[in-house]
Amino acid sequence: MKIPTFVLASASPARRRLLENAGIQAVICPSDFDEAQIQMRDANNLVQVLAEGKAEAVAKFLLANSHPQIPNPKSCLVLGCDSILLIDGEIHGKPKDAEEAISRWQKMRGKVGELYTGHALIDTRFDDFGEARSRSLIRCQVTKVHFAEVTSRQIAAYVATGEPLACAGCFALEGKGGLFVEKIEGCHTNVIGLSLPLLRQMLTEMGYDVADFWQS
A 10 A CB-CB count for 26 gives 22
| Contact set for ligand DGT, span 72-131 (CB under 6 A) | 81-83, 93-94
Q: What 3-state class would DSSP assign to 17?
A: helix
Binding-site residue total for ligand DGT (CB under 6 A)? 21
Contact 90, 42 (CB under 8 A): no
Say whether 42 is catalytic. Answer: no
Q: Check 32, 82, 88, 128 and give the catalytic one.
A: 82
Nearer to ligand DGT by Cβ, of 37 and 216: the residue is: 37
Among 5, 6, 12, 208, which residue sits at the site for ligand DGT (rule: CB under 6 A)? 12
Contact 27, 68 (CB under 8 A): no
Nearer to ligand DGT by Cβ, of 94 and 109: the residue is: 94
| Contact set for ligand DGT, span 146-205 (CB under 6 A) | 167-169, 171-174, 191-193
Contact 93, 120 (CB under 8 A): no
Give the containing element (helix H, strand E) for 61.
Answer: helix 43-64
Q: Using the rule CB under 6 A, give the single segment among 5-13, 60-68, 97-105, 124-132 that binds ligand DGT.
A: 5-13
CB within 8 Å of 62: residues ≥ 6 apart? 7, 29, 70, 73, 76, 78, 124
Which of the residues are catalytic? 82
Interface residues toward ligand DGT, by CB under 6 A = 10-12, 14, 30, 54, 81-83, 93-94, 167-169, 171-174, 191-193
